[in-house]
Structure 1
Amino acid sequence: MTRLRLRRNSAAVAGLWVFGAIALTASIACAITLGPAGLSVAEVTSIVFGHLGGPPADVTPIRDGIVWNLRLPRTVLAALCGAGLGLCGAVMQSMLRNPLADPFVLGISSGASTGAVLIVVLGIGSGAIGLSSGAFLGAVVSFVLVLLLAHLAGGTPDRVILAGVAATQLFSAITSFVVITSADPEQTRGVLFWLLGSLGGADWFDVMMCAAVVAVGLVTCLTHTRSLDAFAFGEDAASSLGVNVLRVRLTLLLATALMTAAIVSVAGAIGFVGLVLPHAARALVGPGHRRLLPTSALIGAVFLVWVDTVARTAIAPQELPAGVVTALVGVPAFAIILWKRKGRR
Structure 2
Amino acid sequence: MRNFCAALVAFAAVSSSAGVAMADVSWAVLDADRGVFLGQDGGSRTRPPASLAKMMTLYLTFEAIRDGRLRWDDRIVVSRNASIKIPTKLWVKPGDTISVREAVDGMIIISANDAAAAVGEHLAGSEAAFGRMMTQRGKRLGLKNTVFSNPSGLTDGRKQTTTARDMALLGMALQRDFPKEYRLFSQPSFVFRGKLRKGHNNLMYRYDRVDGIKTGFTSAAGYNLASSLNTNGRRLIGVVLGGKTARKRDDRMAALLTRFGGQAAPVPVRQPQIAMQVPVPAPRPAVGLAADDVPIEQGDGGFPVPGFSAWQIQIAALPSLAAARRLLDKAAAPVRSIEAGATALVEPTTTKGKTLYRARFDGFVDRNAAGRACAALKQRKFDCIAVAAP
Q: Normalization by structure 1: what TM-score?
A: 0.28
Q: Normalization by structure 2: what TM-score?
A: 0.26
The structure in which a higher percent of residues are strand is: 2
The structure in which a higher percent of residues are helix is: 1
Higher relative contact order (CA 8 A, sep 6+): 1
